[in-house]
Amino acid sequence: MTTFLNFYFRQGPPYNLVEYEHVSVSAFQAIVETFPEFNRPDKYCWEVLLRENDPRLAAILTFLQEHGLSPYTKSHPWYRKVGNPSLFLIKKKHEFTTQEYNEAPFLEMAGEIEMGEHKHLHFDSPLLVHIKSKIPPIGRAEGAKGPICTQIIKEHMEAEGFKGFTFTPVVVEGSRQPSEPLWEIWSNYMMPPMCSPLVDDDGTPVIPGHYTNGCHIAETELPHIYRYTSDAIASMASVDAAVTHEDFGPKTKLCEMRRLLVSQRFRQWALQNKIKLDYDPIVVVR
């Protein structure tokens, strides 16, 4: 896994508080004149994307701090709310090798192709989906907790004998109806607690099982890294699908927000059958 650090600035008054860090024109000019190699083509934005061990980072961060700008890496509390306008967000961006994808015992799985949107906010009622596009073998619906598959894929998965998958019927709204039933994929197995650092909405470390004040990966990173001990993974060796022990999301969420993890055996089966899915590998800590 290769990790990059990413941060950027735009000159002038803010017009998008979520996406850009804004500094005064004079501060921006000082930054771009000192480190011109990171200027964006539009000349109004300056962005760094470097490996986390790149020797240039130390000089850049020192320069920014000397100009009153301090780095912030926490996911919560959200840095715009901590009362310090001089903070700028540093995001970690992770890239995995093909070997890491192929050797990961579990991976977070999601449908690559968006087929529609989920119409219910509470998951104790039938999943109602409005279809917007061609239905893939396994796809995703905006707002649904799990991927959605066709009847034939459900039958193939059951024939493979995968352990841990559950299927919930999907109700389709509107005039565009599928030619076969659709099913939401989930699991009746739960992973052991992960060993990734977790915090609540206030940035306080989370105790496993205590998620009433929110639950988040501690650092701002993409994708999120789910770390497990080798013993935890060994305990799930016979399982092909499980949801995270952690119920992610803010305390104000309206529904469960666990994540679905699948085994390497399932991933290889999906690849062999040319089923397009998105995966993020877990990391095993030994």
pLDDT digits (tens, 9 = 90+) for 245-261: 999 999 988 778 999 99
- Partners of 283 in beta bridges: 227
Nearest Cα neighbor of 181 from 127, 133, 122 is: 127
Nearest Cα neighbor of 29 from 14, 42, 47, 11 is: 11
Q: Which residue has the tokens 């396994």?
A: 138
Q: List Cβ neighbours of 113 (8 Å cut-off, separation of 6 or more).
A: 133, 136, 139, 140, 276
Vertex 254: Cα angle to 250 and 258 (nearest 5): 65
Which residues in the chain show pLDDT less than 50?
Answer: 15-19, 121
Q: Give the pLDDT confidence of 137-149 residue by residue, as tens digits.
A: 999 988 788 999 9
Give residue 175's pLDDT: 80
Show the tokens assigned to 280: 């993020």
Give residue 177's pLDDT: 87
Mean pLDDT (the chain, rounded)? 90
Give residue 18's pLDDT: 46
